[in-house]
Structure 1
Amino acid sequence: MLKIILFCSSGSSTSMLIGRIEEAAKARGIEVAVDAYPEAQMEKYVEEADVVLLGPQVKFILPKAKKICSEKGVPVDVINPVVYGMMDGEKVLEQALSLAKK
């Protein structure tokens, strides 16, 4: 099972995206667990993740996120703003799967 954690400014704007990612994974027969938290809680939850994705509204914390995540061996990236805005769970799932393979 792939554990994906999304971090955004408050943890609430990604709730709909979580459902879309889970739907996309189910359609492909992939087991995932997806959670979202405010970026301020990253250090608390990063150890639970296989992959960390940042909402575009917090892309400015990518350097900090890379430092925190690299110490735990967890890949991290920012979700494309267009993909995020469209709530495209399939594309976010693809991004997470690609990061997990690296």
Structure 2
Amino acid sequence: MNFDKLYILLVCNLGASTGVMVTKMKEVASKSEKLKKVDIRIEAHPAGELREYIEDFDVIMVGPQIKHKFAELKKLADEAGKPIQIIDTQDYGMVNGGNILKDAIIMKMQSTAK
């Protein structure tokens, strides 16, 4: 990997269901040999607080339950120069922390390649 830190912000409605995803993603990251030397931070915060946290993170991932807010969240992310995407609905529903972590890694790699 071409980076030494990966700070992921999961944005959701209130933070409850996404908190479970954070735990799962941290669990996957801690077991990954490839990520052993990467400083990983994963947090979930309500969409209404994005302005407060956006500068502290490398990638922003939006819970599918609030995809209707994506345009306004993307505007904030674009202004801050941060990549943003909606979490895959199936991965979210199945609490597939591995796939979501992989998507975050891809986002980070693409943003640093620019």
Please indicate the TM-score interval, normalised by the length of the shorter structure.
Answer: over 0.9
- TM-score normalised by the chain length of structure 1: 0.95
SS in 1 for 2:16: coil
CA distance in 1, matches of 2:73, 2:57: 13
* Cα RMSD, aligned residues only: 0.9
Partners in 2 of 1:67 and 1:95 — Cα distance? Answer: 20
Structure 2, unpaired ranges of 5+:
none
Question: Is 2:65 the partner of 1:57?
Answer: yes
Question: Which one has a bigger Cα radius of gyration?
Answer: 2
Q: How many residues align?
A: 102
Aligned to 1:96: 104
Which consecutive unaligned segments of at least 5 residues does structure 1 have? none
Cross-structure match for 2:74: 66
Task: Give the aligned partner of residue 22 of structure 1.
Answer: 26
Query: Percent identical across equivalent pairs?
Result: 30
Q: CA deviation at 1:24?
A: 1.2
Displaced runs of 4 or more, over 6 A: none
Counterparts of 2:30 and 2:57 in 1: how far apart (Å)? Answer: 19
Determine helix, strand or coil for the equivalent of 1:7: strand
Q: Aligned partners of 1:5 and 1:64: how far apart in 2? A: 16
Amino acid at match of 1:18: V
Q: CA deviation at 1:17?
A: 0.6
Q: Tell me the TM-score normalised to structure 2 length.
A: 0.85
CA distance in 1, matches of 2:104, 2:69: 18
CA shift, 1:60, in A, is: 1.1
